[in-house]
Chains A and B, each alone.
Chain A
Amino acid sequence: MKMSLSWLASYLPGPAPDPSAAAERLTSVGFIVEGREGEGASTVYDVEVTANRPDGMNHRGLAREAAVALGREFRDPGPGPVSESGRPAAELAAIVIEEGELCPRYSARVIEGIRMGPASAAVRARLESIGSNAISAPVDATNHVLWDIGQPMHAFDLDRLAKGKDGRPTIVVRLARPGEKLVTLDGVERTLAGDQLVIADAEKPVALAGVMGGLHSAISDSTTRILLESAHFHPGAVRRTAKATGMHTDASHRFERGTDPLTTLDGLDRAARIIAADCGGEVRPGVIDAVARPFAARTLGLRLARLGSFLGMEVAPERCLSILAALGFAPERKGGAGDVIEVTVPSWRIDVAGEIDLVEEIIRCVGYDQLPETLPPVFEPGESAESSILEDRARDQLAGLGLTEAHNYSFVSGAENAPFVPAGPGEPVEIENPLGEPFSTLRATPVVGLLRSAQHNVRRSRADLGLFEVARSFGWKDGQVAERRSAAFLLAGRRQSHWSDAAREADFFDGTGIVAGLFSGLGAPAPRFEAAPFPFLAEGRSARIVAEGGAVAGWVGVLASPLAEGWDLADPVVGDVDLDAIPKPAPVTSVEIPSRFPGSSVDLTLTHRKEIPWRLVEETVKRAGPAELLAVDANNRYSGPGVAPGFVKTNLSLRFGSPERSLSREEVNGWRDSAARALLALPETGVDGID
């Protein structure tokens, strides 16, 4: 927001403040001077005024702050006398407020006999210095008032306002009738809704209250009689209209944040003086002042003990009193046991609603650099959320497994997301107001983002990839947006390539390996992989991850070719583990000591139809085995010459051991034979060396 230093200085008696010092001090009390143009008296600041301080969005208000910040006197010379003549204004126009809540006050003056022309050089120079174009004396007068004291105003052509029953042009502040139309000053015809506050004449809307005037009733070169509006509107009413129409004006910006309810008359007088001086009209006696809700000043108490204990430092009561007085709070100290300063909140400080706001006034003027640096009292710390610990442990595990962590946008395009929805937490979650179609949908799995990352790298000649991302997956489920904690990964290109070996492409078992490694690293029992079709995975290289206890903990597989090609990838391996479905290991309270006896292992080779899954082989052996059977491992899988088509040879090891004794060769061989017999019971299965 542009603010002129010389305009500010008009409220600070004495020499104009030094531009650098004023900028620094304003910033220190919360009006951040972000930029500066010009030198000396023609300095113009760019000030960031926060939404809670509309009173600082005009020169008088900001000068008040500057005075406190600089320790200077603030003086408002006021509008000065307005010379009035002719018929009383009240005979020339009437005002009716139908919506007192939304428009507590509407004040107006009538000026007749004007000749349209430019405003004086002084007024134009001020407006132009802050980047506001001069238009005509009446418009410039209202703009000047807005930037001077923060009262937005509007000038109507009085002859364009329809007359009421009593023959006077009548202003009616009311809600729009649904479907009513108004062409605003910018030439746009707007269809109004029933919750929008309008200024109407006796027949039709003539302005969007607090936002913009209508074109029909606007002043023009031929205007000779004007009605000046200076009103106080409810912030919410103006905001509703501005939002609904998508409009944002200097006036709406201030009304939305809250204007001073007591400046309507001040504004009228200031504008009337400029117009009368520059356009030669006669200001009609009196103000038509409709007050629907009289302003009631708020009183607050500031407990000095509370101030000290809240800040962690003492501020002398005298200092508090002088700060509050300079800011216009009329403070009064009520001594005694409850040492309290009572204040009356000035009408322009709509942000000050409680004691805490007074505390802020004191400390920001004392200066935050005066605050001591202390630490809060010691206390008993608690435990971090299990979920966040788990996410970080998963990240460490996956990085330990050789994958690089990625971070992606949480939203993707609907088309990118669609294939993965069947495996996500629910129906796609779409953004109502996305940045664009590529960001329209919350992803059903972080894999979508990893595919994008992989594509980015492949296009830059980095084709051997291992990426992971621990993030949320989204889906509508049972009328709610479900968020799943996913540990997703992607493998593409070669694994572990080295000059000494033939390169090997990442395959399905690298994928299940990552999943198993993650489970193992998190201390969970090994998961099972069940063949399961997912439409986005290659048929036959697609599995569901099942945790011990039967909970589905995600999926893993090779991405289906058409999808993969779309991402410039060939056979990438992808997976998504639901972290919350990984069983939490119970705390280990007694560790089983490893056996002192070495144990023994034997191999078996069986020939079987390739449709017989390893898991069946493993379970068959385990069921047939004694308590001493510790593990069943696959050593080798072979098909080709020497094995009938449709069959495979599987070589497996059985490991045995006992915590109490060494095992004899005979008993191990006996166990091997019973395992072989159990395997022979499988359909069309043979075991080498056994008939």
Chain B
Amino acid sequence: MTEAPFVLDEQLARFELDAARARTSAEVQKLRVDWLGKGHGVVTAFLGLLREVPKDEKGAYGAGVNKLKARVEARLKELEGAAAAEAARAAESARAVDVTLPPRVPAVGRLHPLTVVRRRIEASFRSLGYEVADGPEVESDWYNFESLNFPPDHPARDAVDTFFVKGGGTGRDRLLLRTHTSPVQMRTMLSRKPPIRILCPGRVFRKDDIDPRHLPVFNQIEGLAVDEGITFADLRGTLAAFARTFFGDRAKVRFGPTFFPFVEPGVDVAVSCVLCEQKGCRVCSGSGWIEIMGAGMVHPKVLENGGIDPERYTGFAFGMGVDRIALLLHGLPDLRLLLENDLRFLDRVWSS
């Protein structure tokens, strides 16, 4: 039986040939039964022959069979692993999807452009230390007009077409829809001491016929700063700082004299057109400037009405229309788009 190792080498070669053909787990399973099976497995059979091997050859024979067995087991394990991986791959590929089909998008909510623009404006002023104040939309004549230096029966009121509340009383208590958010300024002055730095955003109402440039309801942001030593130059610097944060580093502001009863001096504030770099375009009507707000130094009478000593304190106020700025930023032709809530518009304006 000196040839036993040779026989075993032959068996090993045969096993390698069989193994090379086994791919699927069934084939690998059959291979295992053929070679390691309890009854007729080749390795099992050779192990069974050990009893019949002469004593002096038992050592070599046993080592040879064990070598064969170890090799077969290792190879089978390898093949079984590969077959299992292949089976898993096949199972996965059965679950493959067409990745180009439309995704299941959760509902995506959006904020209205008026909210987005308002918050951007607020953020600019918040960084300068302003806080947001709030007040009623239905106001009394006193808060909306008289306290702000619009005397009763004064032509300055003609510029501000006002909606009145039916059954809303008379005189200074007469109820109306606020025409600006300035009543919030007055309420703030009456409720606390300077220093005051507030922003008053909110809906305001003017009796304008609805057209591309006018809505009877629109949104305003007013600001008020009252303190010792506040100057007209501070107003200009503040609005210039705002223009730069809001419209870009190169934006400049220009003041032009105008009249509002509650401020003196009163100014129209224009920002340099950042769309055309002041070369003149449709948005700025070729002038290079876009009027975006009114402003001025708080009138001493208004400070007095707010319980603030105008000799000790000075202040400035400004106000701008959020709708108009939204129009400008989004290049909209018509303010009415902002109140139609057409989803095709709201989706588009967001992606711009």
Contacts and interface: CB of A to CB of B under 8 A. Distances in A.
B99 interface: no
A-B pairs with the 5 shortest C-beta distances?
A402-B107, A312-B231, A312-B233, A30-B257, A399-B109
B339 interface: yes
A116 to B, nearest CB: 35
A402 B106 CA distance: 7
Nearest to B161: A433
A453 B238 contact: no
Nearest to A355: B300
B133 interface: yes
A306 to B, nearest CB: 9
A411 B233 CA distance: 41
Contacts of B346: 404-405
Contacts of A379: 129, 195, 197, 227
A27 B111 CA distance: 40
A483 B135 CA distance: 10
A239 interface: yes
A685 interface: no
B163 A399 contact: no
B108 A402 contact: yes
Interface string A430-451: 1111110001001000000000
Interface stretch (B62-70, B88-96, B112-120): B112-120
Interface in B92-142: 101-102, 104, 106-112, 114-115, 119, 128-134, 136-138
A429 interface: yes
A496 B267 CA distance: 52
Contacts of A396: 111
30 contacts: A51-B158, A51-B159, A239-B155, A310-B231, A313-B232, A313-B233, A354-B300, A375-B241, A376-B231, A377-B230, A379-B195, A379-B227, A381-B129, A381-B130, A402-B108, A402-B109, A404-B110, A408-B341, A409-B215, A409-B217, A410-B205, A411-B217, A432-B166, A435-B207, A435-B210, A442-B138, A467-B341, A472-B203, A481-B168, A499-B102
Contacts of A652: none
Among A27, A432, A476, the most chain B Cβ lie within 10 Å of the Cβ of: A432
B189 interface: no
Given A368-B255, A395-B111, A312 B300 contact: no
B166 to A, nearest CB: 4
B177 interface: yes
Contacts of A373: 233, 236-237, 240-241
A404 B231 contact: no
A457 B136 contact: no
**Chain A residues touching B, range:** 35 or more
B297 A310 contact: yes
Contact of B165 (A398, A453, A481, A496): A481
B319 interface: no
Interface string A275-313: 000000000000000000000000000000000011111
Interface of B: 101-102, 104, 106-112, 114-115, 119, 128-134, 136-138, 153-156, 158-159, 163-168, 175, 177, 195, 197, 201, 203, 205, 207, 209-210, 215-217, 219, 225, 227-234, 236-238, 240-241, 254-259, 261, 264-265, 267, 297, 299-300, 314, 338-344, 346
Interface of A: 27-30, 32, 50-53, 235-236, 239-240, 243, 256-257, 309-313, 354, 356-357, 359-360, 363-364, 368-369, 371-385, 387-389, 392, 395-396, 398-411, 429-435, 439, 442, 453, 456-457, 460, 462, 465-468, 471-472, 474, 476, 481, 483, 495-496, 498-500
A14 to B, nearest CB: 26
Given A51-B159, A256-B155, 6 more contacts: A312-B234, A371-B255, A382-B131, A432-B166, A453-B341, A481-B138
A-side binding surface: helix, strand, loop or mixed? mixed
B256 A399 contact: no
Contacts of A311: 231-233
Contacts of A498: 102, 104
Contacts of B215: 409
Contacts of A389: 132
B181 to A, nearest CB: 12
Given A369-B255, A481-B138, A483-B137, A359 B165 contact: no
A360 to B, nearest CB: 4
Contact of A312 (B131, B232, B343): B232
Contacts of A496: 104, 106-107
Contacts of B230: 376-377
B234 A239 contact: no
A465 B107 CA distance: 10
B166 A372 contact: no
A389 to B, nearest CB: 8
Contacts of A483: 136-138
B107 A433 contact: no
Contacts of B177: 410, 431, 442
Contact of B339 (A372, A384, A408): A408
B87 to A, nearest CB: 27
Contact of B109 (A381, A401, A433): A401
A233 to B, nearest CB: 13
A454 B101 CA distance: 29
Nearest to A400: B109
Contacts of B110: 399, 404-405
Among A364, A396, A471, the most chain B Cβ lie within 10 Å of the Cβ of: A364
Contacts of A476: 167
A364 B265 contact: yes
Contacts of B115: 392, 395, 405, 407
Nearest to B232: A311
A465 B106 contact: no
Given A29-B257, A373-B237, A431-B163, A407 B343 contact: no
A431 B164 contact: yes
A389 B122 CA distance: 12
